[in-house]
């Protein structure tokens, strides 16, 4: 190597923007985050604000009166129908969430502790149906549960029942089952992740100290997996609270949920301000429930 092939590296002073960004790492990060933040602000924050505003408007004849007021909320408070609907929605969502979390826990436990090489494959198998069309999954259930559906005709042709069981479709039970099935993957993943994170040496230490499998589970595994259980609760509870397709497809008149009314108000009933108010109430309910879950988690953790 001789001096002649020395390669001068341009030491041109960087421009003002480059200098600024080099000095401020936080700003560099926010430049990269900006598109995502702008999209979310424009398509989530702004619309939610708009919904909140609209919920204070009112309908006068076919026109919308933009004078702010709490008329929609007052109407909801007065009409017992809303309370019944909200309570029913909460009941369905909570029941289905609870059952799903209980049913899903052993499954997540199995994948976390009793599979080794095929862990990735198991996770794919368990989450695959979830990624595919929600509508089709509900449709499948309609086909299965119908009065003249797969389950009834199957049972009939096997001679197990003599006439179709009517209770299977168009009932609250059907809605709960289908919801649980639809959103189960949302519950599996957080529980699995929290179980997978548990340091195996704790369990070995406990075994070493003479704890049997059951005691090990209740004293170590379960408490450590609680954050995942709470996350599963929230992840499951949110979409089920906002459901309106499943009740329409497999539910009866006694299983309509808040979501159905919201949809109706934005659709056939054409009362958007009232629909917006109901959506706001639904969101507040979800937020409050979420808060309760989180606080419960904090209490249990202590």
Partner 1 sequence: MARYTGFYQPNRPLTVYAAIFVLVLYLPILFIPIFSFNSGVYVKFPLEGFTLHWYWDLFQRERLLLAVWNSIKVAAFVSVLSTLIAIPAALAIARYRMPGKAPAAGFIMLPLVLPGLIMGVALLTLVNSLGVQLSLVTVTIGHMVICLPYAISVLLPRFIGFNRSMEEASADLGEPPLRTFWRITLPCNFPGILACLLMTFTISFDEFFMAFFLSGSQSTLPMYIWGQLRFPQDFPSLLALSSLILVFSFALIFASLKLARIGQPTASETKR
Partner 2 sequence: MISIRNISKAFGRVQAVRDVSLDIKAGEFFSLLGASGSGKTTLLRMIAGFEGVTSGTILIDGQEMQEYPPHLRPINMVFQNYAIFPHLNVRDNIAYGLRRLGLSKARQDEMVAEMLEMIALPGYGERRSTQLSGGQMQRVALARALILKPKVLLLDEPLGALDKQLREQMQLELRQLQQRLGITFVLVTHDQEEALTLSDRVAVMAQGRVVQVDTPTGLYERPKNRTIAGFIGSMNFFAGTVHRHGTPEIEIEGLGRAVMNGHDDGRPDGAAATVAIRPEKLVLTAHAPGGRAVEGVVQARQYLGGRHMLHVGIAGRATPVAIAVQDGGAEMAPGQPVWMTWKDDSILIMDAD
Q: Residue numbers of the site for partner 2 (CB under 8 A)?
A: 1, 5-7, 9-14, 18-19, 21-25
CB 93 within 8 A of CB 237: yes
By CB under 8 A, is residue 204 in contact with partner 1? yes
Q: Residue 186: which of 139, 241, 145 has the closest Cα?
A: 241
CB 65 within 8 A of CB 58: yes
Q: Residue 290: which of 243, 224, 240 has the closest Cα?
A: 240
Rounded Cα–Cα distance for residues 16 and 2 (Å): 36
Shortest Cβ 84–partner 1 spacing (Å): 19
> Judged by CB, which is closer to partner 1: 48, or 80?
48
CB 51 within 8 A of CB 276: yes
Tokens 């959103």 belong to residue: 183
Among 187, 220, 276, 289, which residue sits at the site for partner 1 (rule: CB under 8 A)?
276
By CB under 8 A, is residue 30 in contact with partner 1? yes
Shortest Cβ 27–partner 2 spacing (Å): 11
Between helices 80-114 and 272-301, what is the axis angle to 10°?
A: 40
By CB under 8 A, is residue 184 in contact with partner 1? yes
Piece of the chain touching partner 1 by CB under 8 A; list 83-91, 146-154, 167-175, 220-228? 146-154
Shortest Cβ 35–partner 2 spacing (Å): 22
Among 59, 98, 140, 264, which residue sits at the site for partner 1 (rule: CB under 8 A)?
140
User: Could you tell which of partner 2, partner 1, none binds residue 11, using a CB distance below 5 to 8 A set by kind?
Assistant: partner 2
Tell me the CA distances in angstroms from 136 to 8, 119, 143, 148, one per residue in order: 64, 27, 10, 19
> Judged by CB, which is closer to partner 1: 134, or 222?
134
By CB under 8 A, is residue 245 in contact with partner 1? yes
Piece of the chain touching partner 1 by CB under 8 A; list 67-75, 76-84, 167-175, 278-286? 278-286
Shortest Cβ 3–partner 2 spacing (Å): 10
Among 103, 161, 166, 292, which residue sits at the site for partner 1 (rule: CB under 8 A)?
103
Can you spell out the DSSP letters for 214-279?
Answer: HHHIIIIIHHHHHHHHHHHHHHHHHHHHT--HHHHHH--GGG--HHHHHHHHHTTT--HHHHHHHH
Among 65, 79, 133, 301, which residue sits at the site for partner 1 (rule: CB under 8 A)?
133
User: Could you tell which of partner 1, partner 2, none binds residue 114, using a CB distance below 5 to 8 A set by kind?
Assistant: partner 1
Shortest Cβ 32–partner 2 spacing (Å): 15
Q: Residue 262: which of 65, 91, 80, 55 has the closest Cα?
A: 55
User: Could you tell which of partner 2, partner 1, none binds residue 23, using a CB distance below 5 to 8 A set by kind?
Assistant: partner 2
């Amino acid at each position: 190597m001789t001096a002649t092939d020395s390669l001068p590296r341009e030491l041109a002073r960087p421009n003002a923007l480059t200098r600024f960004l080099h000095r401020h790492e936080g700003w560099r990060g926010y430049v990269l985050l900006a598109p995502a933040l702008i999209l979310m602000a424009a398509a989530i924050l702004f619309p939610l604000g708009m919904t909140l505003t609209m919920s204070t408007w009112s309908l006068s004849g076919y026109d919308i009166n933009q004078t702010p007021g709490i008329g929609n909320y007052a109407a909801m408070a007065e009409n017992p129908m809303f309370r019944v609907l909200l309570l029913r929605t909460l009941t369905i969502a909570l029941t289905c969430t609870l059952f799903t979390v209980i049913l899903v826990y052993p499954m997540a436990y199995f994948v976390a502790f009793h599979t080794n090489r095929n862990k990735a494959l198991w996770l794919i198998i368990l989450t695959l149906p979830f990624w595919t069309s929600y509508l089709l999954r509900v449709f499948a259930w309609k086909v299965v549960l119908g009065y003249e559906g797969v389950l009834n005709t199957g049972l009939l042709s096997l001679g197990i029942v003599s006439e179709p069981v009517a209770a299977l479709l168009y009932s609250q039970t059907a809605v709960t089952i289908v919801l649980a099935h639809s959103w189960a993957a949302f519950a599996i993943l957080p529980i699995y992740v929290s179980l997978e994170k548990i340091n195996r040496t704790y369990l070995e230490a406990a075994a070493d100290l003479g704890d049997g499998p059951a005691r090990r589970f209740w004293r170590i595994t379960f408490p450590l997996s609680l954050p995942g259980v709470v996350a599963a609760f929230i992840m499951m509870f949110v979409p089920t609270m906002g459901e309106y397709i499943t009740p329409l497809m497999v539910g009866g008149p006694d299983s309509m949920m808040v979501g159905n009314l919201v949809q109706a108000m934005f659709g056939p009933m054409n009362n958007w301000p009232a629909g917006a108010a109901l959506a706001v109430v639904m969101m507040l309910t979800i937020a409050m429930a979420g808060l309760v879950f989180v606080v419960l988690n904090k209490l249990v953790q202590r």
